[in-house]
Amino acid sequence: MAKSTQAAAHSPLANRIGPDGNPVALTERAHLGKINLRGDAGDKAFLDGVARAAGVAPPVKANTVATAGTTAILWLGPDEWLVVTPAGGQGAMESSLTTALAGQHVSIVDVTDARTTIRISGPRARDTVAKACPLDLHPREFAAGQCAQTLLAKTDVLIHQVGDTPAYDLYVLCSFSRYLWDWLADSAKEFA
Amino acid sequence: MFLIDCPWCGPRQQTEFHCQGEAHIARPKDPDALSDEEWANYVFNRTNPKGVHFERWVHNHGCRRWFNVARDTVTDRILAIYRMGEKRPKVKS
Ligand SMILES: [Zn+2]
């Protein structure tokens, strides 16, 4: 099953070409595996089970990210996380989580195709995003390893700062992704 | 910019939140036993005070969690923020 869905996978941003570097670069990280995970953050058995399956325990501190190799677990709420894997890795992650958490009161849902991910990086990436985002993106308040769900140009996004350059991964609903991509490309123009 | 202190995310802009009406309204245990007037009172009638109002908010563009807010309807000042299931705090406008 995983094979046939992969073959049919189509990115809504497949034909978009963005600014390519200085001072802002846009790229799509298409089809990253995404699992919505819910469970009790106060339950050691749950934290240990996730750590066994994903290589790292879900972060308990609000709006932070835990990573292990190519897997990242983003905090979404006090009992909710997004487990992100490389493209195509969602099936294996879903089964390992299901096995590791068997018998526990949890929810494990593959939401890979709901959103796509736009990577924005470069010395002016922060300024490009900050123009229409109510989050305080100053490094004092928001730095690499932090994530937040917020609004960007009126669109719901999950924003994850992945590097100090800075670089951000923006998780956006596929149906809003062309709008957001075009908005970002336009926002970056003044810095070119 | 009007900031609201989400119990989980900390201060965030008002546009990330929605107010979902008065808090602490208990659903009647046995709706069938209620008169039409009592039911209408539960469904429609609210205290609508000028001053301290206890209300439910949701961080719907953020962590999507619900919490309670005590707000002064005259000044819009937020006097207290407390979690679902907690008793309403004593506040002065
Ligand atoms: Zn929140």
Q: Does domain A33-112 have CATH number 3.30.70.1520?
A: yes
| Total domains, chain B | 1
* CA of A144 relative to ligand 1 center, distance in Å: 19
| Domain CATH code at residue B19 | 3.30.2270.10
Q: Is residue B90 part of a domain?
A: no
Question: Closest by alpha carbon to A65, among A162, A136, A172, A173?
Answer: A162
Using an 8 Å CB-CB cutoff, list chain A residues near B9.
Answer: 62-63, 148
Q: Where are the domains of chain A?
A: 16-30+113-191, 33-112
Q: Is residue B60 part of a domain?
A: yes
Q: Is residue B63 part of a domain?
A: yes
**Min distance B8 CA to chain A CA atoms (Å):** 6
Residue-wise pLDDT tens digits, A94-138: 999 999 999 999 999 999 999 999 999 999 999 999 999 999 999
**Min distance B58 CA to chain A CA atoms (Å):** 12
- A100: Cα within 13 Å, side-chain hemisphere: 23
Where does the pLDDT of residue A1 fall: very low under 50, low under 70, confident under 90, or very high at 90 and above? very low
Domain span including residue B54 = 3-83
Q: Is residue B15 part of a domain?
A: yes
Query: Can you tell me the distance from the alpha carbon of A64 to that of A158, in angstroms, rounded to the nearest whole number?
Result: 12
pLDDT beyond 90 at A18: no
Q: Is residue B89 part of a domain?
A: no
Quote the Cα angle for A82-A83-A89, to 5°. Answer: 140
ipTM of the complex in this document: 0.89
Residue-wise pLDDT tens digits, B52-76: 999 999 999 999 999 999 999 999 9
Residue of A63, A80, A156 lying closest to B9 (CB–CB)? A63
Please return the burial class of A61, using the count of CB atoms within 10 Å of its CB with bins 0-12, 13-18 and 19+.
exposed
Residue of A nearest to B11 (CA): A135
- A111: Cα within 13 Å, side-chain hemisphere: 19
* CA of B31 relative to ligand 1 center, distance in Å: 34
Q: Does domain A16-30+113-191 have CATH number 3.30.479.30?
A: no
Q: CB A63: neighbour CB atoms within 10 A?
A: 24
Q: What is the pLDDT of residue A146?
A: 98
